[in-house]
Amino acid sequence: MSTAEMEELREKYEVVIGLEVHAQLKTKSKIFACDSTEFGGEQNTHVSPVTLGMPGVLPVLNKECVNMGILTGLALNCTIPQYCKFDRKQYFYPDLPKGYQISQYDQPICVNGHIDIEGKRIGITRAHLEEDAGKLVHMGASGIAGSSYSLVDLNRAGTPLLEIVSEPDMRSSDEARAYMEELRTTLRYIGVCDGNLEEGSMRCDANISVRPKGQKEFGTRAEIKNVNSFRALQRAIEYEIDRQIDIVEAGEKVIQETRLWDDNQGITKSMRGKEDAHDYRYFPDPDLMPLEISREWVNEIASKMPELPPQRRQRYISYGLTSYDANVLVEQQDIALFYDKIVALGADAKIANNFLMKEIAAYLKEEKVTIEETKLTADSFAELINLITSGSISNNIGKQIVITLLKEGGSAKAIVEKQGLSVISDENSLKEIISKVIEANPSQVQAYRNGKDKLFGFFVGQIMKETKGRANPQLLNKLLKEALEG
């Protein structure tokens, strides 16, 4: 089918998307045990008897997980019910030694929230705390009698997760991406999750269905797992939309199932039929008491809420940044935090932002480093910007110096003094250079005096070349005019 035909077909359908996002909470220890959540330790070393699911052991809830759950709920505009409880979700898998996962079923810690993306509100149904499972490491065919085999590493088992479930409110892959991005940015600013999709500290299952436009009921959804980048999320959704439309157009039925995204082939593949909740035989975990969250507790956490992305954007716009620039800045948390320090040190917010967006961004990209990994400090950068605004150095000289600061560090003032880069604002010195340039270009002077005004820029260029960009622009303009016209 041609792209045009496919597009026409797509016009007939509406896409419905709901996302389930697992965010790994950045606590030091696990949700029901004291072993470390640190990533990458030797296999099966961060495993207490609780994590191993030994008989007779008891889970103890980590309060910090609850604090983070409440903080996240508040940041996502959720209600924090007074009571929540923990349930057992039963299933068998080798990475789950207990035979059940402790999760929250009908009384989660957060309900009824939302995230706003570009003017559209996406509902958040709920967010619940649960424990992660271990990891299976699949080995090639070299086991018993040449069979392939798998090893299990339980270091990750018991790591706290917050599963954030959206309403089926998204209508395109762009909206799904925008939602994911805003969610990730929020989680990062409140410090509960590092939001790294590639490393799996934030994982997303995308539920997708299509329905003919105008139809009231939702179509049957497929749940797509294994999307570990924003690009993969969008590609998987786009693929799935076409796949489902083809099925419906052929008069067949989409089956409710879990599908895996294969990033290399660019397709989704059936993994298993989708279980219904009753298959898991959820029941309240008798080892854990229902949890009462007092309003004082909620208020105390609310009082520590850091500035969230929407307010941050507004603040940057109030500094005179465009909404585009404010957006880009907010999305890069490390740069934004650095930027806040510069502004607090009195640097001009717009000039500082220009440097961050252009020269510094280009340098970081080229060298593949983060701002913290460079030698640039908030103090030296603020000093540099202040040298520009006070007129001591030109913007162009500032651009050169910032690269030196990134590479070698040091103080902007010292570099200016050592390399003689300060602006020439002394009339006599400038006049001298102007006469030199005028003498060297008699024919251009003649042409200018005969009315070719455009040549003014040529003279400015020559003088800037002569002074290595250090001439005070306003003074140069005035003196050059006098010299040419006099």
The secondary element (H helix, E strand) that includes residue 53 is: none
Residue for token pair 């329905």: 211
Name which of ligand ADP, Mg ion, none residue 128 binds, using a CB cut-off of 5 to 8 Å depending on partner kind: none
Q: Does residue 19 touch ligand ADP according to CB under 6 A?
A: yes
Among residue numbers 362 through 391, which ones bind ligand ADP (CB under 6 A)?
none
Name which of Mg ion, ligand ADP, none residue 309 binds, using a CB cut-off of 5 to 8 Å depending on partner kind: none
State the minimum distance, in angstroms, from the CB of residue 270 to Mg ion.
16
State the minimum distance, in angstroms, from the CB of residue 119 to ligand ADP.
20
Q: Using CA atoms, how far apart are residues 399 and 290, in angstroms rounded to an integer?
A: 59
State the minimum distance, in angstroms, from the CB of residue 80 to Mg ion.
22
Instruction: Kindly give the pairing relationship between strand 257-262 and strand 222-227.
Output: parallel
Residue 271 CA neighbour count, 13 Å, CB half: 14
State the minimum distance, in angstroms, from the CB of residue 297 to ligand ADP.
27
Q: Does residue 208 touch ligand ADP according to CB under 6 A?
A: yes
* Minimum CB distance to ligand ADP smaller for 205 or for 348: 205
Q: Does residue 167 touch ligand ADP according to CB under 6 A?
A: yes
Span interacting with ligand ADP, options 103-111, 129-137, 205-213, 343-351, rule CB under 6 A = 205-213
Q: Does residue 20 touch ligand ADP according to CB under 6 A?
A: yes
Query: Do 14 and 245 form a contact (C-beta atoms < 8 A)?
Result: no
Span interacting with ligand ADP, options 13-21, 39-47, 280-288, 434-442, rule CB under 6 A = 13-21
Q: Does residue 218 touch ligand ADP according to CB under 6 A?
A: yes
Span interacting with Mg ion, options 19-27, 88-96, 108-116, 210-218, rule CB under 5 A = 19-27
State the minimum distance, in angstroms, from the CB of residue 12 to ligand ADP.
17
Name which of ligand ADP, Mg ion, none residue 167 binds, using a CB cut-off of 5 to 8 Å depending on partner kind: ligand ADP
* Minimum CB distance to ligand ADP smaller for 17 or for 162: 17
Span interacting with Mg ion, options 14-22, 24-32, 295-303, 417-425, rule CB under 5 A = 14-22
Span interacting with Mg ion, options 16-24, 117-125, 323-331, 429-437, rule CB under 5 A = 16-24
* Minimum CB distance to ligand ADP smaller for 245 or for 480: 245
Neighbours of 153 (CB within 10 A): 18
State the minimum distance, in angstroms, from the CB of residue 109 to ligand ADP.
16
State the minimum distance, in angstroms, from the CB of residue 14 to ligand ADP.
10
Name which of ligand ADP, Mg ion, none residue 168 binds, using a CB cut-off of 5 to 8 Å depending on partner kind: ligand ADP
Give how many residues touch Mg ion by CB under 5 A. 1
Per CB under 6 A, the list member of 53, 81, 168, 410 interacting with ligand ADP is: 168
Q: Does residue 430 touch ligand ADP according to CB under 6 A?
A: no
Contact map string, positions 336 to 355, toward Mg ion, x by CB under 5 A: --------------------
Query: Do 262 and 268 form a contact (C-beta atoms < 8 A)?
Result: yes
State the minimum distance, in angstroms, from the CB of residue 164 to Mg ion.
12
Per CB under 6 A, the list member of 13, 18, 376, 386 interacting with ligand ADP is: 18
Name which of ligand ADP, Mg ion, none residue 19 binds, using a CB cut-off of 5 to 8 Å depending on partner kind: ligand ADP
At residue 131, the 3 state secondary structure works out as strand
Residues engaged in binding ligand ADP (CB under 6 A): 16-20, 165-168, 207-209, 218-219, 221
